[in-house]
Structure 1
Amino acid sequence: MDLLFVADPLEGFKTYKDSTFAMMREAARRGHGLLHCESRALRWQRGGSVVADTRRIELTGDAHDWFRVVESTETRVADTGAVLMRQDPPFDSEYFYATHLLGQAEREGARVFNKPAALRDHPEKLAILEFPEHIAPTLVTRDAAAVRRFHDEHRDVILKPLDGMGGMGIFRVGPDGLNLGSVIETLNAGGTRTLMVQRYVPEIVHGDKRVLVIAGKPVPYVLARIPQGSEIRGNLAAGGKGVAQPLSPRDREIAEALGPVLAARGLLLVGLDVIGDRLTEINVTSPTCFQEIQQQTGFDVAAMFVDALEAALAP
């Protein structure tokens, strides 16, 4: 069947670590056709269907010129076997609009993973609020005074924007409160933007663990993204070192508690971020770390994912 990947430009892929590329490679190995478009290519007009300008590609096996375009055409999205929404964050207005177009494509018969409505309903920072028993003390607010009270109570805190990615815009303020006012002003823009504050979890020195959950079941290995030097952020984009580890009992407990709930909502692939024994984020837009886990452990995450995708599409 043809799989349509709605993703960022292929020319920018770093194929040695890109999880979407790993999905494509496994799907092609099984004989599935590969189509690609960017979300901006989606369109709908009254009297018609959701269509996109797509490129049919083949993988070359070359590390640099890794794909070739076989055909460029307009494709009715519902005519593809499945749509994989793999556009990277941030979840901005344009991403939001794309999910609505894909929702219309669903009404026309398309099968979309992750489900567009579920993407909208699970903003990656705020989705943890539904599972308070698994998270550290957390505050979501625009109110600077509330942030100060939270800091007074917990003394060592992390502040972050709700629309950041890759560790962007994350600050730590310790017991001395140094620069707390400046950080609040930077993040909440005079009370016009909502931010998140969490008690600092010191186990970050051992890594911010990415727990992948596919069709409600955890991958047996996590990728611990360990901060380097004086950095507090473990994100790979912020220079963290990725170290694959077996799933811990607590990681499994969190994954097994959340996995079936999220899968039932149409989230085939989820990336849970866990620091110590606390859940910090639920990533649903384009969870990564497939290749790092496979390269270090031999476990084929992409194969597990395509197995789940094929099972979801089975009659």
Structure 2
Amino acid sequence: MHLLFVADPLESFKIYKDTTFAMMREAQARGHQISACEPKDIMWQRGAAVTAAVRDITLTGDPVHWFSAAQHQPGGQRQALMDFDAVVMRKDPPFDSEFFYATHLLEQAEREGARVFNKPSALRDHPEKLAIMEWPQFIGPTLVTRDPQDIRRFHAEHQDIILKPLDGMGGTGIFRVREDGLNLGAIIETLNQDGSQTVMVQKFLPAISEGDKRILVIGGQPVPYCLARIPQGGEVRGNLAVGGKGVAQPLSTRDRAIAEAIGPVLAERGLLLMGLDVIGDSLTEINVTSPTCFQEIADQTGFDVAAMFVQALEAAVAKPL
């Protein structure tokens, strides 16, 4: 297969932990051809197919100069997305206006015959924080609102709460307010912006001390190990981006039940890969844009997550449209 990865700049990859790199490495090992571009390289001109200025790359095995490219930068040679066997959308958050527009261009490419994973419409339809609300049986007390009084009522009921912006990533913008309500007003002002910004509020889950578990689901099936991201130094956030310690562990019975209930449903909607975040027994987020942790799980357990992904990708491409 000829695969196109739509991702962040290749030069920004930290290959010792980058999941997209792990996908590329496995794909090349299985004999597939690899190209890459950024969302900004995708173009749609009247009367023509959606194209991208791409770089055809080969992984070198060198930890510093990890790839060689036929093109130093994407040049004038453009390729239609429909001419690739699969387009893998791996642009990191934030899910901003530009990401949104990119999904529309990718969806047009689909209409022209491209195979895009994850499906662009599914990326739009499953905001990573809001998506959990479809599964109330698996989540803790949660509120989504623009009304500051709703937030105050939720705090009065649950006492110890977490507030977060819907468009946050990597643990940014997350606040904890305890029973005393200290700084609740200021935090509401910061996140809510006088009622103009929607906020998610959740009851604080003490099980965060044992880790915020990332459960990967590929082709509707859970990877048998998750990565528990354990807060360090008094933090309430376990995200690796803010210093959490990643510890791989087998799925618990509850972890597996959540993954097996949600995974096949969302896979049917076009999400080949997703990352479920679980604290204790409660689902807290469904990551669909560019779920990570392949290498951390593989390094600690020996389970080859990238191989599972590329096998699922091959199977998905083999299915008729």
Deviations 1:54-102 (A, max 9, x none): 0000101011110111245311100001000000001000000000000
Q: Does residue 284 of structure 1 match 2:288?
A: yes
2:125 alignment partner AA? D
Could you tell me how far 1:46 is from its partner in structure 2?
A: 1.4
Structure 2: tracts of 5 or more residues without a match: none
State percent identity of aligned pairs: 72
Give the Cα–Cα distance (whole angstroms) in 1 for the partners of residues 165 and 242 of structure 2: 16
* Secondary structure of 1:26's aligned partner: helix
Over aligned residues, Cα RMSD in angstroms?
0.6
* Secondary structure of 1:210's aligned partner: strand
Give the Cα–Cα distance (whole angstroms) in 2 for the partners of residues 195 and 62 of structure 1: 44
Give the Cα–Cα distance (whole angstroms) in 2 for the partners of residues 75 and 136 of structure 1: 46
Could you tell me how far 1:151 is from its partner in structure 2?
A: 0.1
Counterpart of 1:25 in structure 2 is 25
Counterpart of 1:78 in structure 2 is 82
Give the Cα–Cα distance (whole angstroms) in 2 for the partners of residues 44 and 128 of structure 1: 33
2:46 alignment partner AA? R
Could you tell me how far 1:148 is from its partner in structure 2?
A: 0.3
* Secondary structure of 2:70's aligned partner: strand
Counterpart of 2:129 in structure 1 is 125
Give the Cα–Cα distance (whole angstroms) in 1 for the partners of residues 41 and 317 of structure 2: 25
1:101 alignment partner AA? L
Give the Cα–Cα distance (whole angstroms) in 2 for the partners of residues 313 and 240 of structure 1: 36
* Secondary structure of 2:267's aligned partner: helix
Counterpart of 2:34 in structure 1 is 34
Q: Does residue 48 of structure 1 match 2:52?
A: no
Could you tell me how far 1:212 is from its partner in structure 2?
A: 0.2
Deviations 1:24-58 (A, max 9, x none): 00000011111100001111111100001100001
Deviations 1:171-200 (A, max 9, x none): 000000000000000001111100100000
- Map 1:25-174 onto structure 2 (within 5 A): 25-71=25-71, 72=74, 73-174=77-178
Deviations 1:267-312 (A, max 9, x none): 0000000000000000000000000000000000000000100011
TM-score by length of 2: 0.97
Give the Cα–Cα distance (whole angstroms) in 2 for the partners of residues 81 and 257 of structure 1: 30
1:217 alignment partner AA? Q
Counterpart of 2:259 in structure 1 is 255
Q: Does residue 193 of structure 1 match 2:231?
A: no
2:30 alignment partner AA? R
TM-score by length of 1: 0.99
1:85 alignment partner AA? M
Could you tell me how far 1:221 is from its partner in structure 2?
A: 0.1
Structure 1: tracts of 5 or more residues without a match: none
Deviations 1:201-231 (A, max 9, x none): 0000000000000000000000000000111
Deviations 1:143-176 (A, max 9, x none): 1111000000000000000000000000000000
* Secondary structure of 2:79's aligned partner: strand
Give the Cα–Cα distance (whole angstroms) in 1 for the partners of residues 44 and 2 of structure 2: 21
User: What is the number of equivalent residue pairs in this alignment?
Assistant: 315
* Secondary structure of 2:285's aligned partner: strand
Give the Cα–Cα distance (whole angstroms) in 1 for the partners of residues 124 and 148 of structure 2: 27
- Map 1:230-249 onto structure 2 (within 5 A): 230-249=234-253
1:70 alignment partner AA? A
1:254 alignment partner AA? I
Could you tell me how far 1:243 is from its partner in structure 2?
A: 0.1
Could you tell me how far 1:260 is from its partner in structure 2?
A: 0.5
Give the Cα–Cα distance (whole angstroms) in 2 for the partners of residues 238 and 136 of structure 1: 23
Could you tell me how far 1:125 is from its partner in structure 2?
A: 0.4
* Secondary structure of 2:54's aligned partner: strand
Give the Cα–Cα distance (whole angstroms) in 1 for the partners of residues 52 and 316 of structure 2: 23
Could you tell me how far 1:314 is from its partner in structure 2?
A: 1.2
